[in-house]
Structure formats: C-alpha cells, structure tokens
Amino acid sequence: FAIRPDGKGDVTNTHIVWQTSKQVPKESSVLVVDDLLYFNDDKGVTSCVNAETGELYWQERLAAGGYSASPLYADGKIYFQNELGVTTIIKPGKTFQKIGENDLAEHGLSSFGVTDGALFIRTDSKLYRIGG
C-alpha cells in the first residue's frame, strides 16, 4: 500500500494512493531509489514499481533461496542478498539489468552494512569486508 501521510484516524477509504497485488516482503524492507520502489518477496521474486503510482515496470526472479535481508543501494547499484549467501547486483532503472552475482556459500540473514567505500556482509559464522 502507498498511503498519503496527511490523514488522521481511520484513513482506510480516503488515503490509499495505490496498492499492489504482487508478492511483497514479509521480512525485508522496501528500497526507494529516485522515484522507483524496489522490493522482493521471501522467495526472491523482485519487483520495481513507480513509487508515486504503483505502476509495475518489471518483475524478475533472483537466485533461489529465502530472502530476509533488506536490499541496499550503494555506489549506484542495488544489492540483494539471499539466505544462502548469494548476492545479486542490479542497476537501478525501469528495465531489469543484472550486473552480477556472487556466492559466499554461507548461510546468513542479516542486511548489508556499508561505510567508507566498503561493503560488510555478516553470515552465521563470519563477517566479510569487501572493498574500501
């Protein structure tokens, strides 16, 4: 749901701007880059919609495995991490463009961290620092 923030009380029938019937995340957060909203369901079906209207631009399935971590936007790229340790990197935009994929082959549920040009990934047993 996209809901106008200017209401008070029960705004169920008056403030819904748009809603989607697409799969939405149960655990991870959505990500907004420019005017585009990105989200993936728990099985890796990822969608890109117009944040203002809800118009679907694309929907793609990422690497198999559960998805609990929230997506990250950094250095002009969007990163999605699944629970099996596979990271899928895409270019933001109205057309799906996969840049790459990396497999750490380690289970993990946490979202990425980023600082000083480095990407931090925590698995069940390790903490990785990439770059920086």
Mean pLDDT computed over 40-60: 92
User: What is the CATH topology of the domain spanning 2-131?
Assistant: Lipocalin (2.40.128)
Nearest residue to 79 (alpha-carbon basis) of 93, 68, 90? 90
Q: How many CB atoms lie within 10 A of CB 57?
A: 15
pTM to 2 decimal places: 0.86
* Domain regions of the chain by residue span: 2-131
| Rounded alpha-carbon distances, angstroms, from residue 113 to 16, 69, 90 | 33, 11, 17
**Cα–Cα dist 53/39, whole Å:** 15
Q: What is the pLDDT of residues 92-103, one digit of tens each?
A: 999 999 999 999
